[in-house]
């Protein structure tokens, strides 16, 4: 049902703009964490569409539609690159500037991978109409099978994100690190720990 391609090769296969579809997936999956900047998923989609570094992303396609996406990056490049000017254009001067400053640190952290044998899986998301149909499982399974890394890392998954935690555990990822959030923040957003997982081939 799904075929997997790299996002920089998707244009020919995607019926609509692949980047725009990735932005929609990002907005549907991640607006809940970005509420300070905008609660409007279409504004989030427009503001962040520019950031995807396409050759770092894989897409699960179904009939020309992007069903799911995930980046796999080995530390030579970041999977996203934020442009402060575009963030300010869509989020306004203050929130755009804050997004550029704070999210840069969070989104553009480079994997420390001196041996080159690890890859960081990032920005995993499935389009709403395709959720629960195996798209993300298929995509991540493909990435693990068709790339030659030894270790696959997924950093800082919210412990409350049951679909993501179950997905990763089902694929054989195991927790290797757990970071407690400050009590005040945990009370506010319900997330107590950020869990890091890894899969070793
Ligand atoms: C997490 C996410 C990528 C899962 O994508 P998906 O394509 O729906 O996942 P799959 O259909 O491949 O499901 C695989 C497994 O995940 C678990 N799962 C998926 N959706 C679930 C849900 N709503 N509730 C509980 N478990 C769920 C199940 O164990 C499922 O296996 P099963 O079908 O054999 O029970 C999707 O829910 C999403 O985009 N969430 C928002 C973005 C996000 O949180 N990304 C992860 C950031 S770390």
Cα 58 vs. chain centroid, distance in angstroms? 11
Give, using CA atoms, the residue closest to atom 37 of ligand 1: 163
pLDDT of residue 15: 65
**What distance in Å separates the CA atoms of residue 44 and residue 99, rounded to the nearest whole number?**
11
Cα of 142 from ligand 1 centre, angstroms: 16
**What distance in Å separates the CA atoms of residue 10 and residue 61, rounded to the nearest whole number?**
9
Q: Which atom of ligand 1 is nearest to the CA of 137?
A: 12
pLDDT of residue 12: 72
Neighbour tally for 11: CB within 10 Å: 11
pLDDT of residue 113: 87
pLDDT digits (tens, 9 = 90+) for 114-140: 888 999 999 999 999 999 999 999 999
Ligand 1 binding site (Cβ under 6 Å of any ligand atom) = 29, 68, 124-126, 131-137, 157, 161-164, 166-167, 170
| Percentage helix, strand, coil for the chain under 3-state DSSP, each rounded to 5 | 45, 25, 30
**What distance in Å separates the CA atoms of residue 156 and residue 196, rounded to the nearest whole number?**
5
pLDDT digits (tens, 9 = 90+) for 6-21: 999 887 766 678 999 9
Give, using CA atoms, the residue closest to atom 27 of ligand 1: 163
Residue ranges in the chain whose pLDDT is less than 50: none
Cα of 86 from ligand 1 centre, angstroms: 31
pLDDT of residue 86: 98
Q: Is the pTM of this model over 0.85?
A: yes
Which pair of structure tokens corresponds to residue 26?
A: 């990002």
Q: Which atom of ligand 1 is nearest to the CA of 170?
A: 29
């Amino acid at each position: 049902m799904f075929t997997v391609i790299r996002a920089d090769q998707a244009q020919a296969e995607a019926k609509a703009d692949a980047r725009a579809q990735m932005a929609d997936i990002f907005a549907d999956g991640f607006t809940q964490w970005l509420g300070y900047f905008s609660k409007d998923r279409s504004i989030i989609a427009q503001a962040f569409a520019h950031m995807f570094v396409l050759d770092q992303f894989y897409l699960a396609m179904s009939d020309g539609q992007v069903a799911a996406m995930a980046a796999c990056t080995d530390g030579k490049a970041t999977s996203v690159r934020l442009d402060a000017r575009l963030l300010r254009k869509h989020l306004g001067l203050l929130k755009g500037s804050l997004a550029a400053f704070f999210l840069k640190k969070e989104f553009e952290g480079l994997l420390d991978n001196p041996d080159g044998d690890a890859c960081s899986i990032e920005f995993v998301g499935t389009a709403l109409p395709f959720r629960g149909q195996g798209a993300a499982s298929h995509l991540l399974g493909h990435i693990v099978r068709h790339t030659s890394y030894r270790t696959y890392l997924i950093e800082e998954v919210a412990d409350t994100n049951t679909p993501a935690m179950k997905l990763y555990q089902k694929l054989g990822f195991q927790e290797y690190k757990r970071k407690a959030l400050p009590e005040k923040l945990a009370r506010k957003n319900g997330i107590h720990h950020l869990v890091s997982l890894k899969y070793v081939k």
